[in-house]
Amino acid sequence: MSDLPRKAVTRTAKLAALPLGFAGRATWGLGKRIGGMSAEIVGRELQQRTAEQLFKVLGELKGGAMKFGQALSVFESALPEEIAGPYRAALTKLQEAAPPMPTSTVHSVLEERLGEDWPELFVEFEDKPSAAASIGQVHRAVWHDGREVAVKVQYPGAGEALLSDLNQIGRFARLLGPLIPGMDIKPLIAELRDRVSEELDYGLEAQAQKAHADEFAGDPDVLVPAVVHQCDQVLVTEWIDGTPLSEVIADGTQEQRDRAGQLLARFLFSGPARTRLLHADPHPGNFRLLPDEKNGWRLGVLDFGTVDRLPGGLPLPIGNSLRMTLDGDAEAVYELLCEEGFVKESIDLEPDAVLDYLLPIIEPAQADEFTFTRNWMRSQAARVADPRSPAYQLGKRLNLPPSYLLIHRVTLSTIGVLCQLGATVRLRDELEEWLPGFVPYEGLLEGEDAAAEA
Protein backbone atom coordinates (compact mmCIF):
# COMPACT_ATOMS: atom_id res chain seq x y z
CA MET A 1 0.00 0.00 0.00
CA SER A 2 1.35 3.43 -0.85
CA ASP A 3 -0.75 5.61 1.42
CA LEU A 4 -0.19 6.17 5.09
CA PRO A 5 -2.74 3.90 6.75
CA ARG A 6 -1.57 0.82 4.81
CA LYS A 7 -4.16 -1.65 6.00
CA ALA A 8 -5.92 -0.41 9.12
CA VAL A 9 -5.66 -3.87 10.59
CA THR A 10 -1.85 -3.78 10.16
CA ARG A 11 -1.50 -0.45 11.97
CA THR A 12 -3.80 -1.61 14.76
CA ALA A 13 -1.91 -4.88 15.10
CA LYS A 14 1.46 -3.12 15.40
CA LEU A 15 0.17 -0.76 18.08
CA ALA A 16 -1.75 -3.52 19.86
CA ALA A 17 1.47 -5.55 20.04
CA LEU A 18 3.14 -2.87 22.17
CA PRO A 19 1.36 -3.74 25.45
CA LEU A 20 2.05 -7.43 24.78
CA GLY A 21 5.71 -6.60 24.38
CA PHE A 22 5.65 -4.61 27.62
CA ALA A 23 4.07 -7.57 29.43
CA GLY A 24 6.57 -10.01 27.93
CA ARG A 25 9.47 -7.91 29.14
CA ALA A 26 7.94 -7.72 32.61
CA THR A 27 7.92 -11.54 32.70
CA TRP A 28 11.51 -11.54 31.45
CA GLY A 29 12.37 -9.08 34.26
CA LEU A 30 10.82 -11.32 36.88
CA GLY A 31 13.02 -14.16 35.65
CA LYS A 32 16.09 -11.95 35.93
CA ARG A 33 15.13 -11.00 39.48
CA ILE A 34 14.74 -14.65 40.43
CA GLY A 35 18.16 -15.19 38.89
CA GLY A 36 19.68 -12.74 41.33
CA MET A 37 19.90 -9.40 39.43
CA SER A 38 19.03 -6.27 41.43
CA ALA A 39 15.64 -4.63 40.98
CA GLU A 40 17.32 -1.38 39.90
CA ILE A 41 19.32 -3.01 37.09
CA VAL A 42 16.35 -5.06 35.90
CA GLY A 43 14.09 -2.01 35.98
CA ARG A 44 16.57 -0.01 33.94
CA GLU A 45 16.87 -2.73 31.30
CA LEU A 46 13.08 -3.07 31.13
CA GLN A 47 12.66 0.66 30.61
CA GLN A 48 15.32 0.76 27.90
CA ARG A 49 13.83 -2.16 25.97
CA THR A 50 10.29 -0.78 26.30
CA ALA A 51 11.28 2.68 25.08
CA GLU A 52 13.28 1.30 22.14
CA GLN A 53 10.31 -0.74 20.90
CA LEU A 54 7.84 2.08 21.51
CA PHE A 55 9.68 4.75 19.54
CA LYS A 56 10.64 2.36 16.74
CA VAL A 57 6.97 1.50 16.13
CA LEU A 58 5.77 5.10 16.51
CA GLY A 59 8.32 6.32 13.95
CA GLU A 60 7.45 3.62 11.42
CA LEU A 61 3.72 4.28 11.48
CA LYS A 62 3.74 8.08 11.16
CA GLY A 63 0.17 9.40 11.66
CA GLY A 64 -1.03 9.78 15.24
CA ALA A 65 1.58 7.29 16.38
CA MET A 66 4.42 9.54 15.27
CA LYS A 67 2.63 12.68 16.46
CA PHE A 68 2.42 11.13 19.93
CA GLY A 69 6.07 10.10 19.76
CA GLN A 70 7.13 13.64 18.83
CA ALA A 71 5.12 15.04 21.73
CA LEU A 72 6.90 12.65 24.08
CA SER A 73 10.32 13.28 22.56
CA VAL A 74 10.67 16.79 23.98
CA PHE A 75 10.31 15.35 27.50
CA GLU A 76 13.37 13.16 27.00
CA SER A 77 15.21 15.66 29.27
CA ALA A 78 13.14 14.46 32.23
CA LEU A 79 14.43 10.89 32.02
CA PRO A 80 17.44 9.66 33.99
CA GLU A 81 20.54 9.70 31.79
CA GLU A 82 21.13 5.96 31.97
CA ILE A 83 17.64 5.46 30.50
CA ALA A 84 17.51 8.39 28.09
CA GLY A 85 20.99 7.89 26.66
CA PRO A 86 20.49 4.56 24.84
CA TYR A 87 17.44 5.69 22.90
CA ARG A 88 18.07 9.43 22.52
CA ALA A 89 18.95 8.80 18.88
CA ALA A 90 15.54 7.23 18.29
CA LEU A 91 13.83 10.19 19.93
CA THR A 92 15.68 12.82 17.91
CA LYS A 93 14.99 10.85 14.72
CA LEU A 94 11.29 11.27 15.44
CA GLN A 95 11.85 15.02 15.69
CA GLU A 96 13.20 15.32 12.14
CA ALA A 97 12.20 12.50 9.82
CA ALA A 98 10.06 9.49 9.00
CA PRO A 99 10.01 6.99 6.13
CA PRO A 100 8.74 8.83 3.00
CA MET A 101 5.73 7.88 0.89
CA PRO A 102 6.37 6.73 -2.70
CA THR A 103 6.85 9.28 -5.46
CA SER A 104 3.83 7.92 -7.35
CA THR A 105 1.59 8.71 -4.38
CA VAL A 106 2.99 12.25 -4.13
CA HIS A 107 2.35 12.85 -7.82
CA SER A 108 -1.20 11.47 -7.50
CA VAL A 109 -2.03 13.88 -4.67
CA LEU A 110 -0.54 16.85 -6.58
CA GLU A 111 -2.46 15.94 -9.72
CA GLU A 112 -5.72 15.57 -7.81
CA ARG A 113 -5.29 18.84 -5.88
CA LEU A 114 -3.38 21.10 -8.29
CA GLY A 115 -4.61 19.68 -11.61
CA GLU A 116 -3.10 17.53 -14.35
CA ASP A 117 -0.76 20.34 -15.36
CA TRP A 118 0.69 20.67 -11.85
CA PRO A 119 4.32 20.29 -13.10
CA GLU A 120 3.89 23.57 -14.98
CA LEU A 121 3.50 25.40 -11.66
CA PHE A 122 7.11 24.55 -10.85
CA VAL A 123 10.42 25.29 -12.54
CA GLU A 124 11.88 22.42 -10.51
CA PHE A 125 10.39 19.81 -8.18
CA GLU A 126 12.47 17.36 -6.13
CA ASP A 127 10.72 13.99 -5.88
CA LYS A 128 12.84 12.99 -2.91
CA PRO A 129 11.30 14.60 0.20
CA SER A 130 13.46 16.91 2.28
CA ALA A 131 11.45 16.06 5.40
CA ALA A 132 8.76 13.55 6.34
CA ALA A 133 6.66 14.05 9.44
CA SER A 134 3.52 12.74 11.10
CA ILE A 135 0.78 13.68 8.60
CA GLY A 136 2.66 14.98 5.58
CA GLN A 137 6.03 15.36 3.92
CA VAL A 138 7.87 18.30 2.40
CA HIS A 139 9.46 18.57 -1.04
CA ARG A 140 11.87 21.26 -2.10
CA ALA A 141 10.92 23.00 -5.36
CA VAL A 142 11.16 26.21 -7.38
CA TRP A 143 7.83 28.00 -7.96
CA HIS A 144 7.00 29.31 -11.41
CA ASP A 145 8.02 32.86 -10.35
CA GLY A 146 11.50 31.68 -9.40
CA ARG A 147 11.04 31.50 -5.63
CA GLU A 148 12.45 28.50 -3.77
CA VAL A 149 9.52 26.84 -2.00
CA ALA A 150 8.62 24.02 0.36
CA VAL A 151 5.71 21.90 -0.90
CA LYS A 152 3.91 20.16 1.95
CA VAL A 153 1.84 17.18 0.79
CA GLN A 154 -0.56 15.45 3.17
CA TYR A 155 -0.51 11.65 3.33
CA PRO A 156 -3.68 10.08 1.87
CA GLY A 157 -5.83 8.80 4.73
CA ALA A 158 -3.95 10.85 7.35
CA GLY A 159 -7.08 11.76 9.30
CA GLU A 160 -8.22 8.18 9.67
CA ALA A 161 -4.74 7.09 10.75
CA LEU A 162 -4.39 9.92 13.28
CA LEU A 163 -7.63 9.12 15.10
CA SER A 164 -7.15 5.36 14.94
CA ASP A 165 -3.60 5.54 16.33
CA LEU A 166 -4.44 7.92 19.15
CA ASN A 167 -7.47 5.86 20.19
CA GLN A 168 -5.32 2.73 20.21
CA ILE A 169 -2.51 4.38 22.18
CA GLY A 170 -5.05 5.73 24.66
CA ARG A 171 -6.03 2.16 25.55
CA PHE A 172 -2.60 1.41 27.00
CA ALA A 173 -1.61 4.93 28.16
CA ARG A 174 -1.11 3.81 31.74
CA LEU A 175 1.68 1.46 30.65
CA LEU A 176 3.61 4.42 29.22
CA GLY A 177 3.52 6.49 32.42
CA PRO A 178 6.86 5.25 33.79
CA LEU A 179 8.66 6.37 30.61
CA ILE A 180 8.10 10.06 31.36
CA PRO A 181 8.18 10.68 35.14
CA GLY A 182 5.74 13.29 36.40
CA MET A 183 3.69 13.45 33.20
CA ASP A 184 0.11 12.27 32.84
CA ILE A 185 -0.08 10.62 29.42
CA LYS A 186 -3.88 10.43 29.08
CA PRO A 187 -4.57 14.21 28.90
CA LEU A 188 -1.77 14.53 26.34
CA ILE A 189 -3.41 11.93 24.10
CA ALA A 190 -6.87 13.49 24.56
CA GLU A 191 -5.52 16.93 23.66
CA LEU A 192 -3.74 15.60 20.56
CA ARG A 193 -6.96 13.87 19.52
CA ASP A 194 -8.93 17.11 19.92
CA ARG A 195 -6.51 18.89 17.57
CA VAL A 196 -6.73 16.36 14.74
CA SER A 197 -9.27 18.21 12.59
CA GLU A 198 -7.32 21.47 12.85
CA GLU A 199 -4.01 19.89 11.94
CA LEU A 200 -5.48 18.25 8.85
CA ASP A 201 -6.90 21.56 7.61
CA TYR A 202 -4.15 23.19 5.56
CA GLY A 203 -6.42 26.22 5.10
CA LEU A 204 -6.30 26.97 8.83
CA GLU A 205 -2.56 26.31 8.85
CA ALA A 206 -2.05 28.75 5.97
CA GLN A 207 -4.00 31.44 7.83
CA ALA A 208 -1.96 30.98 10.99
CA GLN A 209 1.34 30.96 9.11
CA LYS A 210 0.39 34.07 7.12
CA ALA A 211 -0.51 35.91 10.32
CA HIS A 212 2.92 35.09 11.77
CA ALA A 213 4.79 35.81 8.53
CA ASP A 214 3.13 39.23 8.21
CA GLU A 215 3.78 40.16 11.86
CA PHE A 216 7.39 38.98 11.91
CA ALA A 217 8.30 40.33 8.44
CA GLY A 218 11.65 42.08 8.80
CA ASP A 219 12.05 40.94 12.42
CA PRO A 220 15.74 40.72 13.45
CA ASP A 221 15.21 37.59 15.53
CA VAL A 222 12.46 35.44 13.98
CA LEU A 223 11.79 34.39 10.39
CA VAL A 224 8.50 32.81 9.33
CA PRO A 225 8.31 31.72 5.66
CA ALA A 226 5.51 33.34 3.65
CA VAL A 227 2.60 31.30 2.26
CA VAL A 228 2.79 31.02 -1.53
CA HIS A 229 -0.18 28.76 -2.36
CA GLN A 230 -2.64 26.57 -0.49
CA CYS A 231 -5.32 24.05 -1.41
CA ASP A 232 -6.75 20.91 0.15
CA GLN A 233 -3.89 18.59 1.24
CA VAL A 234 -1.17 20.81 -0.32
CA LEU A 235 0.57 23.84 1.20
CA VAL A 236 3.32 25.77 -0.60
CA THR A 237 5.48 28.18 1.41
CA GLU A 238 8.76 29.94 0.88
CA TRP A 239 11.80 27.75 1.52
CA ILE A 240 14.20 28.58 4.34
CA ASP A 241 17.60 27.04 4.90
CA GLY A 242 19.16 26.61 8.32
CA THR A 243 20.29 24.11 10.90
CA PRO A 244 17.48 22.07 12.50
CA LEU A 245 17.36 22.48 16.26
CA SER A 246 17.74 18.70 16.57
CA GLU A 247 21.23 19.10 15.05
CA VAL A 248 22.04 22.03 17.35
CA ILE A 249 21.02 19.81 20.28
CA ALA A 250 23.32 17.03 19.04
CA ASP A 251 26.37 19.00 17.84
CA GLY A 252 25.86 22.76 18.23
CA THR A 253 28.31 25.14 19.84
CA GLN A 254 27.39 26.73 23.16
CA GLU A 255 26.90 30.05 21.34
CA GLN A 256 24.39 28.41 19.01
CA ARG A 257 22.63 26.68 21.91
CA ASP A 258 22.30 29.87 23.93
CA ARG A 259 21.10 31.94 20.97
CA ALA A 260 18.59 29.27 19.90
CA GLY A 261 17.31 29.01 23.46
CA GLN A 262 16.91 32.76 23.87
CA LEU A 263 15.06 33.08 20.57
CA LEU A 264 12.86 30.09 21.32
CA ALA A 265 11.83 31.64 24.65
CA ARG A 266 11.28 34.99 22.90
CA PHE A 267 9.06 33.41 20.27
CA LEU A 268 7.06 31.48 22.88
CA PHE A 269 6.06 34.65 24.74
CA SER A 270 6.13 37.27 21.98
CA GLY A 271 4.08 35.24 19.47
CA PRO A 272 0.78 35.40 21.38
CA ALA A 273 1.33 39.08 22.22
CA ARG A 274 1.98 40.00 18.57
CA THR A 275 -0.31 37.63 16.64
CA ARG A 276 -2.89 36.48 19.23
CA LEU A 277 -1.85 32.93 18.28
CA LEU A 278 0.30 30.40 20.12
CA HIS A 279 2.46 28.06 18.03
CA ALA A 280 1.54 24.82 19.74
CA ASP A 281 3.95 22.24 18.30
CA PRO A 282 7.35 23.18 19.74
CA HIS A 283 9.41 20.10 18.94
CA PRO A 284 12.92 20.70 17.51
CA GLY A 285 12.04 19.58 13.99
CA ASN A 286 9.88 22.69 13.60
CA PHE A 287 12.69 25.19 14.15
CA ARG A 288 15.81 26.22 12.24
CA LEU A 289 18.82 28.28 13.30
CA LEU A 290 19.73 30.62 10.45
CA PRO A 291 22.98 32.60 10.17
CA ASP A 292 22.42 36.35 10.19
CA GLU A 293 25.11 38.95 9.46
CA LYS A 294 23.77 41.53 11.91
CA ASN A 295 22.66 39.46 14.90
CA GLY A 296 24.61 36.23 14.42
CA TRP A 297 21.59 33.93 14.26
CA ARG A 298 17.87 34.06 13.65
CA LEU A 299 15.19 31.50 14.50
CA GLY A 300 13.24 30.05 11.58
CA VAL A 301 9.80 28.75 12.58
CA LEU A 302 7.91 26.08 10.62
CA ASP A 303 4.63 24.15 10.81
CA PHE A 304 1.65 26.14 12.04
CA GLY A 305 -0.76 23.22 11.84
CA THR A 306 -1.42 23.34 15.57
CA VAL A 307 -2.06 26.74 17.13
CA ASP A 308 -4.00 28.03 20.11
CA ARG A 309 -6.12 31.10 19.38
CA LEU A 310 -5.72 33.65 22.18
CA PRO A 311 -7.69 36.85 21.37
CA GLY A 312 -6.22 38.59 24.42
CA GLY A 313 -2.76 37.07 24.19
CA LEU A 314 -1.53 34.88 27.02
CA PRO A 315 -4.02 35.07 29.93
CA LEU A 316 -3.28 37.82 32.46
CA PRO A 317 -3.52 35.43 35.47
CA ILE A 318 -0.38 33.60 34.26
CA GLY A 319 1.77 36.71 34.60
CA ASN A 320 0.05 37.81 37.80
CA SER A 321 0.48 34.44 39.52
CA LEU A 322 4.09 34.12 38.38
CA ARG A 323 4.95 37.59 39.73
CA MET A 324 3.18 36.98 43.04
CA THR A 325 4.91 33.61 43.44
CA LEU A 326 8.31 35.24 42.92
CA ASP A 327 7.30 37.88 45.49
CA GLY A 328 6.46 35.09 47.97
CA ASP A 329 2.84 36.22 48.40
CA ALA A 330 1.37 32.81 49.22
CA GLU A 331 -2.14 34.03 50.09
CA ALA A 332 -2.54 36.06 46.89
CA VAL A 333 -1.23 33.19 44.72
CA TYR A 334 -3.58 30.71 46.34
CA GLU A 335 -6.57 33.05 45.96
CA LEU A 336 -5.83 33.54 42.26
CA LEU A 337 -5.39 29.79 41.65
CA CYS A 338 -8.76 29.18 43.30
CA GLU A 339 -10.42 31.88 41.16
CA GLU A 340 -9.00 30.39 37.94
CA GLY A 341 -10.03 26.82 38.81
CA PHE A 342 -6.57 25.38 39.51
CA VAL A 343 -7.88 24.52 42.97
CA LYS A 344 -11.40 23.10 42.98
CA GLU A 345 -13.94 24.38 45.50
CA SER A 346 -14.02 21.01 47.25
CA ILE A 347 -10.25 21.11 47.88
CA ASP A 348 -8.59 22.97 50.75
CA LEU A 349 -4.83 23.48 50.59
CA GLU A 350 -2.27 25.36 52.64
CA PRO A 351 -1.17 28.48 50.69
CA ASP A 352 2.43 28.15 51.91
CA ALA A 353 2.53 24.53 50.72
CA VAL A 354 1.31 25.62 47.29
CA LEU A 355 4.03 28.28 47.16
CA ASP A 356 6.67 25.69 48.11
CA TYR A 357 5.38 23.49 45.28
CA LEU A 358 5.58 26.28 42.68
CA LEU A 359 8.86 28.02 43.54
CA PRO A 360 11.27 25.33 42.22
CA ILE A 361 9.34 25.12 38.95
CA ILE A 362 9.66 28.86 38.27
CA GLU A 363 13.32 29.05 39.26
CA PRO A 364 14.32 30.08 35.67
CA ALA A 365 12.28 33.29 36.09
CA GLN A 366 14.00 34.30 39.33
CA ALA A 367 17.54 34.90 38.07
CA ASP A 368 18.78 37.38 35.49
CA GLU A 369 19.82 34.36 33.44
CA PHE A 370 19.31 30.63 33.91
CA THR A 371 21.02 27.59 32.43
CA PHE A 372 18.47 24.95 31.46
CA THR A 373 19.90 21.45 31.89
CA ARG A 374 18.69 17.89 31.73
CA ASN A 375 19.67 17.49 35.41
CA TRP A 376 17.41 20.38 36.40
CA MET A 377 14.53 18.91 34.36
CA ARG A 378 15.08 15.49 35.92
CA SER A 379 15.08 16.93 39.42
CA GLN A 380 11.75 18.65 38.78
CA ALA A 381 10.25 15.51 37.25
CA ALA A 382 11.49 13.37 40.13
CA ARG A 383 10.11 15.81 42.70
CA VAL A 384 6.56 15.75 41.33
CA ALA A 385 6.62 12.05 40.37
CA ASP A 386 7.80 10.51 43.64
CA PRO A 387 4.70 9.30 45.56
CA ARG A 388 6.63 9.82 48.80
CA SER A 389 7.22 13.54 48.20
CA PRO A 390 4.94 16.35 49.45
CA ALA A 391 5.06 17.83 45.92
CA TYR A 392 3.54 14.65 44.48
CA GLN A 393 0.76 14.60 47.06
CA LEU A 394 -0.06 18.28 46.54
CA GLY A 395 0.18 18.05 42.75
CA LYS A 396 -2.45 15.29 42.70
CA ARG A 397 -4.91 17.70 44.29
CA LEU A 398 -4.39 20.55 41.84
CA ASN A 399 -6.52 20.87 38.71
CA LEU A 400 -5.61 22.06 35.20
CA PRO A 401 -8.55 23.98 33.66
CA PRO A 402 -9.21 23.06 30.01
CA SER A 403 -8.49 26.62 28.84
CA TYR A 404 -4.92 26.32 30.14
CA LEU A 405 -4.20 22.78 28.93
CA LEU A 406 -2.56 23.61 25.60
CA ILE A 407 -0.65 26.61 27.01
CA HIS A 408 0.65 24.35 29.77
CA ARG A 409 1.79 21.66 27.33
CA VAL A 410 3.48 24.15 25.00
CA THR A 411 5.32 25.79 27.90
CA LEU A 412 6.50 22.45 29.27
CA SER A 413 7.53 21.28 25.81
CA THR A 414 9.51 24.46 25.18
CA ILE A 415 11.27 24.08 28.53
CA GLY A 416 12.05 20.49 27.53
CA VAL A 417 13.72 21.72 24.33
CA LEU A 418 15.67 24.39 26.27
CA CYS A 419 16.97 21.63 28.55
CA GLN A 420 17.94 19.50 25.56
CA LEU A 421 19.85 22.51 24.23
CA GLY A 422 21.53 23.15 27.58
CA ALA A 423 20.93 26.83 26.85
CA THR A 424 21.65 29.77 29.12
CA VAL A 425 18.67 32.10 28.70
CA ARG A 426 17.65 35.49 30.05
CA LEU A 427 14.09 34.31 30.55
CA ARG A 428 13.11 37.10 32.90
CA ASP A 429 13.81 39.66 30.16
CA GLU A 430 11.33 37.92 27.86
CA LEU A 431 8.68 37.70 30.58
CA GLU A 432 9.03 41.39 31.41
CA GLU A 433 8.75 42.32 27.74
CA TRP A 434 5.93 40.05 26.61
CA LEU A 435 3.97 38.35 29.44
CA PRO A 436 0.89 40.35 30.51
CA GLY A 437 0.76 40.95 34.26
CA PHE A 438 4.35 39.93 34.98
CA VAL A 439 5.60 43.50 35.48
CA PRO A 440 4.03 44.68 38.77
CA TYR A 441 1.15 47.13 38.49
CA GLU A 442 1.96 47.77 34.83
CA GLY A 443 -1.53 48.93 33.88
CA LEU A 444 -1.87 51.15 36.97
CA LEU A 445 1.43 52.90 36.30
CA GLU A 446 0.49 53.58 32.66
CA GLY A 447 -2.83 55.03 33.84
CA GLU A 448 -1.07 57.26 36.37
CA ASP A 449 1.32 58.53 33.71
CA ALA A 450 -1.56 59.35 31.39
CA ALA A 451 -3.39 61.19 34.15
CA ALA A 452 -0.28 63.18 35.07
CA GLU A 453 0.23 64.23 31.43
CA ALA A 454 -3.40 65.35 31.20
The answer to whether the beta carbons of residues 307 and 278 sit under 8 Å apart is yes
Q: What is the dihedral of CA 83, 86, 90, 92, to 10 degrees?
A: 80
Whole-number pLDDT of residue 435: 96
Instruction: Answer yes or no: is 89 within a domain.
Output: no
> Is residue 452, in this structure, part of any structural domain at all?
yes
> Which 3 state secondary structure label does DSSP give 217?
coil
Count CA atoms within 13 Å of residue 429 on its CB side.
Answer: 11
CB 47 within 8 Å of CB 82: no
Cα torsion 253, 278, 286, 212: sign: negative
CA terminus-to-terminus distance, the chain? 72
User: Which amino acid is present at 404?
Assistant: Y
| Residue 297: closest CA among 221, 218, 213 | 221
Domain count, the chain: 1
pLDDT along the chain (454 residues), means of 10: 45 51 39 41 50 57 52 56 54 54 91 96 96 82 98 84 68 57 63 74 96 97 98 96 93 96 97 96 91 90 93 95 96 96 92 94 95 92 82 87 86 92 97 93 46 40
How many CA atoms lie less than 13 Å away from 359 in the CB half-sphere?
A: 11
151 within some domain? no
Alpha carbon distances (Å) from 130 to 85, 153, 305 = 27, 12, 18
Asked if residue 259 belongs to a domain, the reply is yes
Domain annotation covers residue 398: yes
Any domain includes 40: no
Report the 10 Å Cβ neighbour count for 408.
14
Q: Is residue 412 in a domain?
A: yes
Cβ burial 93-117 (10 Å sphere, 16+ → b, else e): bbbbbbebbeeebbeebbeeebeee
Residue 205 covered by a domain: no
- For every residue of 108-149, DSSP letters joined together read HHHHHHH-TTGGGGEEEE-SS-SEE-SSEEEEEEEETTS-EE
Taking the C-alpha atoms of residue 319 and residue 439, their distance in angstroms, rounded to an integer, is 8
Angle formed by the axes of helices 81-96 and 374-385, nearest 10°: 110
| Cα–Cα distance, 148 to 141 (Å, whole number) | 6
Evaluate whether 214 touches 90 at the Cβ level (below 8 Å): no
Residues 6+ apart with CB under 8 A from 181: 78, 79, 378, 381, 382, 385
pTM for the structure as a whole:
0.77
Host domain of residue 406: 243-454
Strand extents, DSSP E, 102-249: 122-125, 131-132, 136-143, 148-154, 222-223, 227-231, 234-238, 243-244
Q: How far is CA 154 from the centre of its chain?
A: 20
Nearest residue to 222 (alpha-carbon basis) of 280, 276, 141, 286? 286
